[in-house]
């Protein structure tokens, strides 16, 4: 790491610490604004929400998935902007704020618990969030670590540890106070970094039209393993249908990536509470502008650039350096699940591009045997100075060769964005991008860790031990346990676009479990306590059972299905079902249970309805349950 | 070489590309119109109580 790079990172960290100090000194948290009867600036509020929403998971993880599967991921960006910002702010935000304040709720589980006068709901929701948030936290940690490993040429494991210590240290030292200036500063860095990335990337591939046309022309370069599941090129939707493996990709992209995350955002505990921190609906409406533009510039850019990286690697990339070694026969892992590993035999070149004698770039020279037809063939020219000039001519997925440890190699989609930024863009941008990712990770991690802590401290312990009990010790222990759990997941789970998958698991679970009860509670007087309990438990159970027994990759990773039934997943040999996201089944069931049980159970008391919806007839919905 | 919009032949993809921009435009227009229309509401007693208790919750973390 060069001196100026260290200085840039230190200056950034000092700025964050300084803003945190300013916030602490002047107490500029959201509640301070409200206590002082003032409003937080909508731009600050929107950037704070946006930087919490968008993390390294979206930029590195989902960006890598776009590089692998193409621009179909832009449907997720559409959902992010339309559902995650417009619906969330303009439709649900105001009602959440009003009811949250009326019920004096300070966490998402508390909002649900008080809305339905149910301690069970608060404790259950707090427990679910505490236990499963680390899966999402791990995704954020992996995203940052993959970039650090690529940028500095270090192994992944120490990068993960350093990144976790750095971000968790910041959060534990004081990043928890919801200081909006810090979030907004980080949001500003993210916006700048992604704007430069977009402009530079379109510039690299020759502009919008040329870039897209070149990407379209590359459809013949799709990896055979992806063609087999329906990949038709980076500017085409995957093949749609049911009943054959060649339709798997459509179901992966649409159900897990687009719907799982696109809808799941509405019931994200760490985001819902943000609506309570504003003073009026006007602030929310004004924040929609900045929020929409910000999210477009985050996921829209990450997915577009991810897809375009294929053009760069295939058509434009030239690597110059010292050839340190050649692996004459390497079996590179193309797919790895717990009970299923697929490798591709090939020759690898290991090149030192920085002059320190350590190979930092690994590319496929050619495939061996049958793999020759499905792998790229790199062009190698020996330069007069003893170095080599290599044109990999590979798609992004096949260019992302990284060490899998113990002498093994793998194609890692989560490394695509880091490799692209490090290889394609100037070093100074790489450092700016590092800061972008640090900012994205810190702002999201702080609210994740905060939500894990309050989940166990405020929502579980305090409810069990009594309202007057101080929960600070339990909250802090909860945070540390959550971080360690996330670190462990990050250590063991790598490869196979795990960042996106882990994020989708958490988002999907939150939607299945909480979305019907949350929206029902905001808009309908007739939703009963029993129905909300049944809906939440149904969502968690169905989602959980689907992950453990049906969703093939996750069922394999957990191994419970194998232990109980001797098969990796119950429907593993039935096409398409093993890749359908749990949300597709669990969310409708959870909603149906909410409606059905509301029809036959005791209606909420008038006193509760008055405190939730006000004394009058503010809510137009009839007293009947959901239509 | 390719037809379609913005160099993207598949309508499902260029539609997604344009819808991303349209959704963002919707956010901008909504924000401008609704931000103008909505009156500045005075904080209610519930808002003040919430903010006071939020401060206590923050201090416990």
Q: Where are the domains of chain A?
A: 3-33+41-312+428-613, 319-391
pLDDT of residue A91 exceeding 80, the answer is yes
Cβ contacts (< 8 Å) between A81 and chain B: which residues? 20, 23-24, 27
- Give A624's pLDDT tier (boundaries 50, 70, 90): very low
Say which CATH topology domain A3-33+41-312+428-613 has: Sodium/glucose cotransporter (1.20.1730)
pLDDT beyond 90 at A48: no
**Among candidates A104, A291, A470 on the partner chain, residue whose Cβ is nearest the Cβ of B53:** A104
Q: How confident is the model at residue A625 (pLDDT cuts 50, 70, 90)?
A: very low
Judge whether A487 and A137 are in contact, CB under 8 Å. no
A339-365 mean pLDDT: 92
Whether B40 sits inside 8 A of A282 (CB atoms) is: yes
Asked if B49 and A108 touch (Cβ cutoff 8 Å), the reply is no
Spell out where A445-574 has E strands: none
User: What's the distance, CA A445 to chain centroid?
Assistant: 11
Chain A residues touching residue B30 (CB < 8 angstroms) = 86, 90, 285, 288-289
Q: What is the mean pLDDT of residues A55-65?
A: 92
Q: What pLDDT, on the 0 to 100 scale, is given for residue B49?
A: 83
Q: What is the pLDDT of residues A233-282, one digit of tens each?
A: 999 999 999 999 999 999 999 999 999 999 999 999 988 988 888 778 88
ipTM confidence score = 0.90
Among A24, A35, A313, A47, residue whose Cα is nearest residue A194: A47
Chain A residues in contact with B60 (beta carbon < 8 A): 457-458, 470-472, 475
Q: How long a stretch of residues is chain B?
A: 61
pLDDT at B28: 95
pLDDT at A397: 97
B41:A236 CB<8 A: no
Tell me the pLDDT tens digit for each residue of A553-606: 889 888 899 999 999 999 999 999 999 999 999 999 999 999 999 999 999 989
Please name the residue of chain B whose CA is at the shortest distance from the CA of residue A459: B57
Measured distance CA(A302)–CA(B20) in Å, rounded: 13
What percentage of chain A reaches a pLDDT higher than 90?
62
pLDDT band at A497 (very low <50, low <70, confident <90, very high): confident
Asked if residue A619 has pLDDT above 90, the reply is no
| Per-residue model confidence (pLDDT) at position A9 | 82
At A256 the pLDDT is 92
Cβ contact A496:A337 at 8 Å: yes
- Integer Cα distance of A292 and A275 in angstroms: 16
Look at residue A1 in the predicted model and tell me its pLDDT: 66
Q: Is B50 on the interface with A (CB under 8 A)?
A: yes
- Those residues with Cβ within 8 angstroms of residue A256's Cβ, 6 or more apart along the chain or in another chain: A500, A501, A504, A508, A579, A581, A583
If DSSP codes are grouped into helix, strand and coil, which group holds residue A441?
helix
pLDDT for position A618: 41
Q: Radius of gyration of chain A from Cα atoms? A: 25
**Residues above pLDDT 70, as percent of chain A:** 93
Rounded CA gap, A304 and A416, in Å? 13
> pLDDT value at position A319?
96
Beta strands in A2-87 (DSSP E): none
**A425, A429, A430, A431: CA torsion to nearest 10:** 170
Give the per-residue pLDDT at B44: 79
Q: Is B3 on the interface with A (CB under 8 A)?
A: no
pLDDT tens track for A98-150: 999 999 998 999 999 999 999 999 999 999 999 999 999 999 999 889 888 88
pLDDT digits (tens, 9 = 90+) for A178-230: 466 777 888 889 999 999 999 999 999 999 999 999 999 999 999 999 999 99
Contacts of B4 (CB under 8 A, 6+ apart): B10, B11, B14
* B38 neighbourhood in chain A, CB within 8 Å: 280-282, 285
Confidence of residue A176 (pLDDT cuts 50, 70, 90): very low
Taking 60 as the threshold, does the pLDDT of residue A612 lie above it? Answer: yes
For the ranges A339-343, A435-439, A523-527, the one whose mean pLDDT is highest: A523-527
**Contacting residues of A for B58, CB less than 8 Å apart:** 29, 31, 176-178
Q: Is B28 on the interface with A (CB under 8 A)?
A: yes
Residue with tokens 């990536």: A257
Show contacts of A589-593: CB within 8 Å, 24+ apart: A589/A538, A589/A539, A589/A542, A590/A512, A590/A513, A590/A515, A590/A516, A590/A517, A590/A535, A590/A536, A590/A538, A590/A539, A590/A542, A591/A515, A591/A516, A591/A535, A591/A626, A593/A516, A593/A531, A593/A534, A593/A535, A593/A538
Q: Please give the structure tokens belonging to residue A85.
A: 């910002």
Averaged pLDDT score across all residues of chain A: 89
Task: Say if residues A409 and A64 touch (Cβ distance below 8 Å).
Answer: no
B23 touches chain A (CB under 8 A): yes
> Picking from A52-61, A238-247, A518-527, which range would have the lowest pLDDT averaged per residue?
A52-61
Please report the pLDDT score of residue A26 as a whole number. Answer: 61
Q: DSSP 3-state assignment of A136?
A: helix
Q: What is the pLDDT of residues A456-485, one digit of tens each?
A: 988 999 889 886 777 778 888 898 899 999
How many angstroms separate the most distant Cα atoms in chain B? 65
Higher pLDDT, B35 or A152: A152
Query: Contact, A43 vs A175, CB < 8 A?
Result: no
């Amino acid at each position: 790491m060069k001196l100026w790079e260290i200085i840039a990172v230190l200056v950034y960290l000092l700025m964050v610490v300084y803003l945190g100090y300013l916030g602490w000194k002047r107490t500029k948290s959201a509640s301070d604004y409200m206590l002082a009867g003032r409003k937080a600036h909508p731009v600050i509020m929107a950037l704070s929400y946006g930087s919490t929403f968008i993390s390294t998971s979206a930029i590195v993880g989902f960006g890598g998935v776009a590089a692998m599967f193409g621009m179909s991921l832009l449907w997720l960006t559409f959902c992010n902007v339309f559902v995650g910002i417009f619906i969330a702010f303009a439709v649900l935000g105001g009602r959440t704020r009003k009811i949250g304040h009326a019920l004096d709720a300070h966490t998402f589980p508390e909002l649900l618990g008080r809305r339905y006068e149910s301690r069970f709901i608060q404790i259950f929701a707090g427990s679910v969030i505490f236990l499963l948030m680390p899966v999402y936290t791990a995704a954020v940690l992996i995203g940052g670590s993959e970039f650090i490993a690529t940028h500095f040429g270090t192994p992944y494991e120490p990068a993960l540890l350093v990144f976790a210590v750095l971000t968790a240290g910041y959060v534990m030292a004081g990043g928890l106070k919801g200081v909006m200036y810090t979030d907004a500063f980080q949001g500003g860095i993210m916006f700048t970094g992604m704007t430069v990335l977009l402009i530079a990337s379109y510039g690299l591939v020759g502009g919008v039209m040329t870039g897209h046309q070149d990407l379209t022309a590359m459809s013949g370069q799709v990896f055979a393993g992806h063609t087999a599941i329906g990949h038709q090129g980076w500017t085409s939707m995957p093949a749609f249908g049911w009943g054959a493996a060649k339709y798997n990709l459509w179901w992966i992209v649409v159900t897990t990536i687009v719907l799982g995350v696109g809808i799941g955002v509405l019931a994200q505990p760490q985001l819902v509470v943000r609506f309570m921190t504003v003073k009026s609906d006007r602030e929310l409406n004004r924040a929609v502008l900045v929020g929409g533009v910000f999210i477009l510039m985050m996921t829209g850019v990450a997915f577009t650039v991810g897809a375009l990286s294929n053009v760069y690697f295939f058509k434009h990339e030239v690597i110059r350096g010292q050839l340190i070694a050649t692996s004459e026969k390497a079996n590179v892992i193309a797919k790895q699940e717990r009970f299923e590993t697929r490798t591709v035999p090939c020759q690898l070149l290991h090149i030192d591009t920085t002059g320190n004698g350590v190979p930092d770039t690994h590319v496929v020279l050619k495939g061996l045997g049958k793999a020759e037809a499905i792998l790229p063939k790199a062009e190698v020219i020996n330069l007069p100075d003893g170095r080599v000039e290599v044109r990999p001519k590979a798609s992004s997925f096949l260019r992302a060769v990284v060490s899998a440890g113990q002498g093994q190699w793998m194609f890692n989609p989560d490394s695509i964005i880091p490799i692209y930024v490090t290889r394609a863009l100037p070093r100074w941008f790489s450092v700016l991008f590092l800061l972008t990712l640090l900012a994205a990770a810190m702002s999201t991690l702080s609210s994740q860790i905060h939500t894990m802590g309050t989940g166990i401290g405020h929502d579980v312990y305090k409810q069990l031990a009594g309202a007057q009990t101080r929960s600070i010790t339990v909250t802090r222990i909860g945070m540390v346990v959550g971080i360690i759990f996330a670190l462990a997941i990050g250590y063991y789970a790598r490869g196979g676009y795990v960042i996106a998958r882990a994020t989708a698991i958490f988002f999907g679970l939150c939607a299945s479990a909480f979305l019907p009860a949350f929206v029902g509670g905001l808009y309908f007087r007739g939703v009963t306590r029993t129905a909300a309990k049944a809906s939440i438990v149904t969502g968690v159970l169905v989602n959980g059972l689907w992950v453990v027994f049906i969703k093939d990759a996750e069922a394999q990773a957990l191994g419970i299905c194998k232990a109980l039934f001797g098969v990796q997943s119950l429907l593993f040999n039935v096409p398409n079902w093993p890749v359908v996201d749990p949300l597709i089944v669990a969310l409708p069931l959870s909603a149906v249970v909410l409606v059905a049980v509301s029809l036959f159970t005791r209606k909420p008391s008038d006193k509760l309805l008055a405190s939730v919806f006000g004394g009058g007839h503010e809510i137009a919905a009839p007293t009947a349950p959901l239509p | 070489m390719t037809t379609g919009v913005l160099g993207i032949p598949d309508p499902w993809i260029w539609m997604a590309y344009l819808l991303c921009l349209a959704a963002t435009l919707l956010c901008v227009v909504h924000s401008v119109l609704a931000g103008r229309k909505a009156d500045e509401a005075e904080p209610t007693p519930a808002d003040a109580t919430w903010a006071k208790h939020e401060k206590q919750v923050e201090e416990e973390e």
